[in-house]
Structure 1
Amino acid sequence: MTTTTGTTDTLTAATPKAAPHPLRAEAVRGFPPLAGAALMVACGAMMIATAREWQGDWAETAGQLHDGLLMALPVAAAAGCWHGGRERRRRTEELWGTAVRPPLARLLASAVPVALWTAVGYLLVLAAANVATWPYARGDHPHLILVPGDTAALMAAVLLGHVVGRIVPSLLAAPLLGVAGFAGLAAAVPEADVQPLDPASFTVHGSWPVWWQPLAMTAWTLGLALALTLAYAARRRATALLPLAAALTGAALLVQGGDATWQPDPFLRRQVCDTSTTPAICVNARYGGVLPQVTTALSGVTGRLKGVKGLPVRWADREHGPRADEAQLPILAPVGWSLVRGRLVDPHQYAYEAAAMLSDRGQCERASERVTFAVDAVQSYLAPSPGRGAFDAIEAKGDAAARAHLRASLAARAKLAGMDEERRKVWLSAYFAARATCDDEGVPSL
């Protein structure tokens, strides 16, 4: 019994452990993790620098991440190129030529970890950006439809760069490839027929790709990269025809699809309204959660309009202008101006702009001086401009004509503000009735 146990222990100790898979060895050490970290830092820095322009808006967050491919793709290609020239820099090419594994297996074992780490770096930035947007979002929902195509494009850039790094015997190949890639993507003409093939093309404002567009983009970018890889390293180069066919199919779908590959954002066509005021206040559904702030900001204006007739039915936040029975509300998009991280930056300025759009004569022909004074008086009564005092001070220092114009404006404002409530309601009702029909003669005098 003792002899058997000793023999078993000896055999167990002598059994060699299985060697780790080459992909695992490449993935956990060396350059690949550094490549992923470099891309994460580059994209993260870009997102942090522009946080005011996207944080709090799901659509802007997705668009900014996609537009970041303009920088991420050249970085990924340069990383793949640098890693592809590793054996040349180490002068171990001849040694690798004696290895049992075929060239394609060796290439993929070296390139795939870089591609995977690059994708991980990008996805971590994407996750962090969406987490940063979540506390401030006031409508809409996360947009992830672009993620598969963007991630595949980054991995394809690594594979293409890796092949270039093996072919071009120069230490400058990686930086030059990165610069050339950035210049090429930046110089791409949006109106060109091949623009749908550009994985870093800017998103169509107010639209999102149809469900099959990311699949076609994946087939185009990864198919082309795999075809080039197989043509370079496979023993049977005819195998490159299969991914090449997939790439050409994806390219044909993208080019032939044209505008049909994009569909309007349904949120942009919807309005969320507060009908407790007159006029009603409607904001775009993308920012439906901001409606209480807008209602509060306009409470002074709506309070002064109680009992006034002839008003538009509502304020509406429409990008293409108001309808016949509406007044334009100051547009909240793009974020970073009047709306930052889910909050109105300057409610007083916002109220002034809304009041100006409500009382302005819009598409009416150029008004007489009498009507101009009336418009200025109405705007000043509903919501004075935060900068009105500075403009008046400049006009007061002007020539005689400017000073006379200022005196007439101040007199008109004072007369409207000094009316008793009932008389002012009648006057404002007549003003808005004349405004609706562009009737200068119907505008009451002050």
Structure 2
Amino acid sequence: MTNPTLYGKARAYTALRAELRRGIAPWTGLAVALTVLVPLWGKASQWQGSWGETQSQLHSASALLAGPLVAAASCWQGGREHRRRTDELLSSAPRSRLTQATMAATPIVLWAAAGYLVALAVAFAATAPYTGAGSPSFSLVATDLGFLLSIGLVGFVVGRLVRWRLIAPVLAVCAYVGLGFPNYLDSEAQFLNPAQQVDLEGAVPVWWYAPVLVAWTGGIAAAVLLAYAAKRRYLAVVPLALSIAAGTVVVHTGADLFRNDPAAARMVCSKAGPGTPQICVNTYDAPVLPQMSEALAGVFSRLEAVPGAPVRYVDSRFGTKDGEAALSHVTRGWGLTRNRLTDPHQYASNTALGLVNRDCPADSHGKSRKEAERVDRTDDAVRSWLAGEDSVWYPDSRHLSRLKAMPDADRKVWLGRFLATRKSCTPSEVPVL
């Protein structure tokens, strides 16, 4: 004699397998993968080489773009029986309403998750060859997956309840607006938004980030599903209470959901040699050290044997001490693309500018505008000479010509005197060129 329970489970498994292979579910997975990858690939130069920036871009695309798409697809799936006029037939089926709803919604959310994971694998494979340190945060992966599953279940219930044929695209638009608007709020409640923009460049989520965020979004989805389909609808109070508790923790914690990444605080330095100062950057930019050294070779050679010349150049984010100078800061997608300096000459020029920049208040030169202009022209002449270029700000400057015309020994002595005053805001202390 056949066991009815086992027979029912076999039928349910067969129905689920059929749903996974047909209808809009497989197309939803493909659409999610493309929706995430296409805009992501258009900004590849900004995130390749940084795990943090890669996941920040992935998070924004999956939540703000793929989220409304999954909601619309699930909503369309939920309204399938209305369109086919099979509502009464469905109600006569032996399976419970909750089982029917879960079986119908599962293919959409599973394919959506699969599409996200494909996009994740492609993005990780694209950025892995260029990373210098750190690792991807799987907490953010779990929260993104949890959100896609949650919004899929909510969209399905909306499709079951609302018989309007245009509800799916309207729901997608509403979801997009609802997910994007909180990003402009100045409140700790913005961290409740699954599409909240996160900056993981130098930061990582706290260890309990994923469980709390998944409880927040998943609790809402479970409550909606139980309230719609469960025989004992009051059970929806349990996941709703869990969601409220998790949301309270998120709001109370706020920006402290993320902590500083230890890898961003560690320095990696090149080897110092005769006439070649050390270059120190954080571990993320370590693969770019050889290029930085090559770009700054001209600056180093011009400062060789100059008294008071920096013995080490440090990433500006670390600050500088005596005997050190700040490196020009480059950001991925602008001055740095796939671990290549986009403009090495500009990088050297900006580093030279940082070396001579006095950072003085506007009124520090006193009433003598003539002396102030002399100092500005002198600083510009030194920067231009170090970078091996003509003056950009004072094309007719005679100061640069004088510096170039000096005998090498005299120029080294004068540069030593100049560097001794590079932090001074008193014009009279700056040597005349």
Q: Same fold (TM over 0.5)?
A: yes
278, 284, 300: which one aligns with 1:280: 278
Which stretch shifts more, 158-167 or 138-147? Answer: 138-147
Using the alignment, how far apart are the partners of 2:330 and 2:262 within structure 1?
17
* Cα 1:382/1:200, change in 2 over 3 Å: same
Partner of residue 410, structure 2: 423
Q: What residue is the counterpart of 1:64 in the other structure?
A: 57
Write the deviation string for residues 307-329 of structure 1: whole angstroms up to 9, x where unpaired.
11223453222347655654331
Task: State the one-letter code of the partner of 2:425.
Answer: C
Bigger drift between 430-439 and 61-70 goes to 430-439
Partner of 1:315, secondary structure, is strand
Q: Say whether 1:438 aligns with 2:432.
A: no
Matches within 5 A, 1:37-436: 37-68=30-61, 69-188=63-182, 189-204=184-199, 206-276=202-272, 279-319=277-317, 322=320, 326-333=324-331, 335-363=332-360, 365-366=364-365, 368-385=372-389, 388=390, 406-407=395-396, 409=397, 411-436=398-423
Q: In the aligned structure 1, how far is the partner of 2:105 from the partner of 2:127?
A: 34
Hey, what's the Cα distance between the residues in 1 that align with 2:419 and 2:348? 18
Cα separation, 1, equivalents of 2:303 and 2:137: 40
The CA deviation at 1:275 is 5.0
SS at match of 1:316: strand
Structure 2 distance, partners of 1:46, 1:125, is 11
Give the aligned partner of residue 5 of structure 1. Answer: none
**Paired residues of 2:32 and 2:70 also in contact (CA < 8 A):** yes
Q: What 5-or-longer segments of structure 1 have no aligned partner?
A: 1-17, 393-404
Alignment RMSD: 2.0
What letter matches 1:314 in structure 2? R
Q: Give yes or no for contact 2:64–2:176 (8 Å, CA) kept in 1.
A: yes
Larger radius of gyration: 1
Write the mapping of 1:11-30 to structure 2, written as runs, cut at 5 A.
19=11, 20-30=13-23
Q: What is the CA-CA distance between 1:140 and the residue it aligns to? A: 3.1
Displacement of 1:61 in angstroms is: 0.5
TM-score, with length taken from structure 1: 0.87
Name the CA distance, whole Å, in 2 between partners of 1:182 and 1:214. Answer: 23
* Farther-moved stretch of structure 1 (76-85 vs 250-259): 250-259
How many Å separate the matches in 2 of 1:222 and 1:378? Answer: 61
Q: Is the contact between residue 74 and residue 181 of structure 1 (CA under 8 Å) also seen in structure 2?
A: yes
- Paired amino acid for 2:383: Q
- Greater shift, 276-285 or 141-150, is seen at 276-285
Measured against aligned partners, the alpha-carbon deviations of 1:31-54 in whole angstroms (never above 9, x if no partner) come to 111111111111111111111111
Q: What SS does the aligned partner of 2:244 have?
A: helix
CA distance in 1, matches of 2:90, 2:167: 21
Measure, in 1, the Cα distance between the counterparts of 2:128 and 2:199: 23
1:284–1:318: 8 Å Cα contact kept in structure 2?
no
| Alignment partners' CA distance in 1, 2:116 and 2:250 | 24
Amino acid corresponding to residue 143 of structure 2 in structure 1? G
- State percent identity of aligned pairs: 42
Q: Could you tell me which residue of structure 2 aligns to residue 3 of structure 1? A: none
- Aligned residue type for 1:375: D
| 2:82 partner letter | R
Q: Is the 8 A contact 2:51 2:127 kept in 1?
A: yes
Matched positions, count: 411
State the alpha-carbon separation in 1 of the partners of residues 68 and 28 from structure 2. 12
What SS does the corresponding residue of 1:252 show, helix, strand or coil? helix
User: How far did 1:250 drift?
Assistant: 1.5
Judge conservation of contact 2:298–2:388 (CA < 8 Å) in 1. no
Cα distance in 2 for residues equivalent to 1:138 and 1:259: 26
Aligned to 1:7: none
Q: Is the 8 A contact 2:279 2:313 kept in 1?
A: yes
Q: Contact 1:62/1:144 (CA < 8 Å) preserved in 2?
A: no
SS in 2 for 1:30: coil
Contact residue 358 and residue 424 of structure 2 kept, 8 A: no
Deviation at residue 373 of structure 1 after TM alignment: 2.1
Amino acid at match of 1:31: I
